[in-house]
Chains A and B, each alone.
Chain A
Amino acid sequence: MTAAVEPERTGELLRLAGVRKSFGGNVVLRSVDLEVHPGECVVLIGASGSGKSTLLRCVNLLEVVDDGLITFDGRDITDPRVDGDEVRSRMGMVFQAYNLFPHLTVLGNVTLALRKVHGVPAGEADERGLAMLERVGLAGRARSRPDDLSGGQQQRVAIARALVSSPRLMLLDEVTSALDPELVGEVLDLLGELKDDGVTMLVNTHEMGFAREVADQVCFLHDGVVHERGAPEALLGDPREERTRAFLSRIRAS
């Protein structure tokens, strides 16, 4: 199962070909192939431990792949000569548990990367940060500490923090899994609006309703590979593969 390393085609923003990742003897990703086009929202589904989070971390170069090719913006980012910080500065990532910095204000969280990574002057950074907070409906809480916010608000701040430096690609890792049920909606609504704004997203989620409404493409990750992929109606409504069917019925039963 070697990676088919071929010159990248144009068109897609992100392409994975034969990506493999193992931890010790535990092979989590065997050979993952995936494309994300500009403006597209690709949703990854799969059981716990199927490697969805690992996949996002590999894309963000937080994990070094064992094999395979990842091209981002037409460049091979698995090349060890690539500057990972520079690549990450063009992606936005949102975590399951928000991971906001508790010692900074909401605005401080949102503007940190602008000021320290992108070299934006403090005044302009605050302006852009406030505009972004306005966008996620939290301009009034700019001076609050993250701990004083609800989970849904914190996650919206985390999304604003990732979005404020205009990343080419947003990586969202189970962003609603830590939220109380009544707070899930506000975050998913925001993601839907981002999609309408043309933000490119690669999303891990267990929210099948979101996948159905917002995704352009749904990929079912199983056994270390993309087991089945397709348009949301087709994949979620009438999956071809037995495994996909079984996974979806387990989700619905709960």
Chain B
Amino acid sequence: MSRDSTTSGLVDDWAPSAAQRERDAWRRRQTVRSTGVAALSTVLVLGLAGAAVVSSPGFQRVRETYFSWDKAVDSFPAVLEGLWLNIRVMALCAVLIVALSLVIAIMRTVRGPVAFPLRLLGTVYVDVFRGLPLLLVLFLLGFGGPALNLTGLPRSALFWGCSALVLSYSAYVAEVFRAGIESVHPSQRLAGRALGLGYAQTLRHVVLPQAWRRVLPPLMNDLVSLQKDSGLIAVLGVVDAIRAAQIETARDFNYTPYVVAGVLFICLTVPMARLTDWFARKQGFHGAGGML
């Protein structure tokens, strides 16, 4: 209320008083001091920890096995090529997961006795695929799927691996969507219906836009998680970043390629995580009502 336009733009000849200048100066001194203390303690802690690691007896072996520069340069192209596959898998699966989970979430939130089979189907789906370990689904579909020789479906491990990811993740993401849909206050539906919008129209134009905004931060969190789990299809023999690193490692039992793959995955997820943070902050508070 303090930002009301009636008082905005008051023009005056204000200059800070002596007391205010003194307070500002004190705050500045405090800031400088705490920044200094923070910098000093950071350097000290990191320095001590670094010294402890470097001077430990096994450090030389650790460095050779995990941080060999030559090995890293050698394996980098192969791992990077594998990572490109991870990125494509992640992007495709993300789109499919959002579509499938939205359908499931809507199925689970439809009301009325007629829709009972829909609700049951949605609930069973979520219960099953949230209960099954992702690795088990990968084994079931990735090894079992191609063996079925179903007409019209490809036999590639990549296809079946992606299906497993989509099925498993959709169960989680559907629950996120459902929480979002249910967090929209009933009065919003009421207002939509009062305008003459139908059930589906209310869902589409009133409920989902609000739910979507609320669940975007947790959804992006799931996307970060999917980026890493796309590496699980390596167990099916698909050559992604992890599998490529494994192949490189198998030559001389130097584990640097794994570290290379790990660093690449982190480089992939960190921007995503920052984006999530930024978005959540930008959105601000969307919880229960209240006045300030």
Contact = CB atoms under 8 A, between A and B. Distances in A.
Interface of A: 1-3, 5, 18, 20, 23, 25-28, 30, 47-51, 53-54, 66-69, 78-81, 95-97, 99, 102, 178, 223-224
Contact of A80 (B1, B7, B10, B30): B30
B33 to A, nearest CB: 13
A2 B2 CA distance: 22
Among the interface residues B2, B18, B26, B30, which one has the most CB atoms of the partner chain A within 10 A? Answer: B2
Interface residues of B, number: 26
Contacts of A26: 2-3, 7-9
A228 to B, nearest CB: 17
B14 A30 contact: yes
A50 B6 contact: yes
B70 interface: no
A48 B3 CA distance: 10
Interface in B15-47: 15-20, 23, 26-27, 30
B17 A67 contact: yes
A54 B14 CA distance: 19
Contacts of A20: 14
A25 B12 CA distance: 12
Contacts of A68: 17, 20
Residue among B12, B14, B27 facing the most chain A CB atoms (10 A cut-off) = B14
Contacts of B6: 47-50
A103 to B, nearest CB: 11
Contacts of B13: 1
B252 interface: no
B148 interface: no
Nearest to A221: B7
Contacts of A79: 23
Contact of A3 (B3, B5, B17, B290): B17
Contacts of A5: 17-19
Given A30-B10, A79-B23, A80-B26, A178 B1 contact: no
Given A23-B3, A53-B1, A66 B20 contact: yes
Contacts of B9: 25-26
24 contacts: A1-B13, A2-B16, A5-B17, A5-B18, A18-B17, A23-B3, A26-B3, A28-B7, A30-B10, A48-B4, A49-B1, A49-B5, A49-B6, A49-B7, A50-B4, A51-B7, A53-B2, A54-B2, A67-B17, A78-B19, A81-B26, A102-B288, A178-B291, A224-B12
A1 B16 CA distance: 9
A97 to B, nearest CB: 4
A23 B2 CA distance: 8
B68 to A, nearest CB: 53
Contacts of A54: 2
Contact of B19 (A23, A25, A69, A95): A69
A99 B12 CA distance: 36
B15 A49 contact: no
Nearest to B30: A80
Nearest to B27: A80
Contacts of B3: 23, 26, 28, 49
A99 B30 CA distance: 33
Given A2-B17, A95-B291, 12 more contacts: A3-B19, A23-B2, A26-B9, A27-B7, A27-B12, A28-B7, A49-B1, A67-B16, A68-B17, A80-B30, A81-B26, A96-B291
A223 B5 CA distance: 12
A27 B14 CA distance: 10
A137 B1 CA distance: 32
